[in-house]
């Protein structure tokens, strides 16, 4: 099994984490790539990405985020190669010692897909689990990680961070400056001003996905806190809403694809949120449509529990807009508020046509 490390002190910084975990990451990358130079470059790129977003990484789930960045960065360069995906699953299972559910969450696939990769991978390798662990252990003994190139990694991270800030600044300018909106509407095909939701992207921007630990509270709106546990999603809502206090959707069957919708009164209108379930991995995006307006919702998923999670709108819906939507629904129209798309861009689930009755 891979070496374990002492628990880093609370509030540890990126440099401490990088120094402590560089050897293990290099070994894992070497088992994935079978190339010393490619392995070190993969780990350098991974740590640079983590350095750029270190403040946003949950401190009790750092290893998950680093592993996910490492394996997805590796597979992204080998897109479409089934053998590479199978090898990745075998390394995660028999070297990193992760469970099938944890691997599924890392790769954004189902537990069944992971088990299939394990079966086919073992058959192709001509070895059983015990034999493969021995092979990995011997291969790891030959790896010499060297010192972490911390200065280079942090410099790359600063460059990535500046790029993200620049992209965010351009996006904010486009939303906040009417002239920029008008120019973008004239120049960019398929783009139009979208009221409270900013700019509408007809191409379908992916939903921001955040992986959370069980019970980790996230602020979804003014006074609304949401969190996930193994038995379901939970909301703590403010007094002005029709359903103040804490609610949950525990005990709801999650085998079949579906998505729920709820409204909570907040300052400035209503916050829309709900739970999606029955998916094969993480959703690509969750789209919220209110009349002729639409936005891309944010998504929370629970580490180690793929296929379901909580979504919430990035901005409240005004009272007037919700009245218009309710009128359409009660009038017998087909107003589907929420649509969940899978990784292939296909519709995986849609909210009920008569959601407003609840």
What are the pLDDT digits (tens) for 161-206?
A: 777 666 555 544 444 444 443 333 433 333 333 322 223 333 467 8
Orientation angle between helical segments 82-94 and 100-107, nearest 10 degrees: 140
pLDDT in tens, 40-79: 999 999 999 888 888 878 777 788 889 989 998 898 877 6
Q: Give the total residue count for the chain.
A: 358
Query: 96 — alpha (psi -120 to 50), left (phi > 0) or beta?
Result: alpha
Report the pLDDT value the prediction gives residue 166, as an integer from 0 to 100. Answer: 61
Write out the two tokens for 350: 């849609």
Please, what is the average pLDDT of the chain?
77
pLDDT in tens, 213-230: 888 888 888 888 898 888
The predicted model gives 323-328 an average pLDDT of 65
H or E element, residue 37: helix 36-52
pLDDT in tens, 228-261: 888 888 888 875 555 555 777 766 666 788 898 8
Q: Are 272 and 261 in contact (CB under 8 A)?
A: yes
205 DSSP assignment: P
Write out the two tokens for 4: 């374990």
Three-state secondary-structure class, residue 114: helix
Higher pLDDT, 320 or 99: 99
* Single pTM value for the model: 0.52
Angle at 191 between CA 188 and CA 194, to 5 degrees: 145
Three-state secondary-structure class, residue 235: strand
Write out the two tokens for 55: 């403040």
Higher pLDDT, 268 or 167: 268
Q: What is the dihedral of CA 40, 98, 111, 248, to 10 degrees?
A: -110
pLDDT-derived band at 156, boundaries 50, 70, 90? confident
Q: Are 66 and 43 in contact (CB under 8 A)?
A: no
Distance separating alpha carbons of residues 198 and 185, to the nearest angstrom: 12
Distance separating alpha carbons of residues 180 and 312, to the nearest angstrom: 28
H or E element, residue 265: strand 262-266
Q: Are 220 and 230 in contact (CB under 8 A)?
A: no
Q: Is the dihedral of CA 134, 138, 143, 147 positive or negative?
A: positive
Report the pLDDT value the prediction gives residue 5, as an integer from 0 to 100. Answer: 41
Q: Are 170 and 183 in contact (CB under 8 A)?
A: no
Nearest CA to 95 out of 27, 6, 7 is that of 27
Three-state secondary-structure class, residue 338: strand
Write out the two tokens for 222: 């003014």
């Amino acid at each position: 099994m891979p070496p374990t490390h002492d628990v880093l002190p609370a509030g540890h910084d990126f440099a401490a984490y990088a120094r402590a975990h560089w050897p293990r990451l290099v070994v894992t990358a070497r088992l994935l790539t079978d190339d010393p130079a490619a392995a070190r470059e993969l780990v350098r790129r991974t740590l640079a990405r983590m350095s750029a977003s270190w403040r946003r990484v949950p401190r009790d789930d750092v290893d998950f985020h680093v592993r996910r960045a490492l394996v997805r960065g590796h597979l992204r360069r080998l897109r479409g190669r089934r053998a590479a995906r199978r090898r990745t699953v075998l390394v995660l299972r028999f070297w990193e010692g992760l469970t099938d559910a944890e691997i599924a969450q890392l790769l954004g696939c189902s537990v069944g897909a992971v088990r299939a990769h394990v079966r086919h991978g073992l058959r192709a390798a001509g070895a059983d689990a015990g034999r493969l662990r021995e092979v990995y252990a011997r291969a790891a003994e030959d790896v010499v990680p060297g010192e972490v190139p911390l200065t280079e990694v942090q410099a790359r991270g600063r460059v990535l961070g500046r790029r993200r800030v620049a992209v965010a600044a351009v996006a904010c300018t486009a939303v906040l400056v009417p002239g920029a909106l008008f120019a973008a509407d004239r120049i960019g095909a398929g783009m139009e001003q979208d009221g409270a939701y900013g700019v509408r992207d007809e191409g379908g921007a992916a939903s921001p996905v955040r992986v959370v630990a069980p019970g980790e509270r996230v602020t979804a709106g003014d006074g609304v806190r949401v969190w996930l546990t193994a038995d379901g999603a939970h909301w703590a809502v403010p007094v002005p809403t029709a359903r103040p206090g804490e609610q949950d959707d525990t005990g709801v069957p999650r085998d079949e694809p579906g998505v729920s919708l709820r409204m909570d009164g907040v300052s400035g209108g209503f916050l829309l949120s709900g739970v999606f379930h029955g998916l094969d991995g993480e959703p690509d995006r969750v789209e919220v449509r209110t009349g002729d307006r639409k936005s891309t919702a944010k998504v929370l998923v629970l580490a180690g529990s793929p296929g379901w999670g909580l979504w919430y709108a990035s901005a409240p819906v005004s009272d007037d807009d919700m009245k218009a939507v309710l009128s359409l629904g009660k009038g017998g129209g087909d107003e589907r508020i929420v649509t969940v798309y899978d990784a292939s861009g296909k519709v995986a689930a849609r909210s009920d046509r008569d959601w407003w009755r609840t």
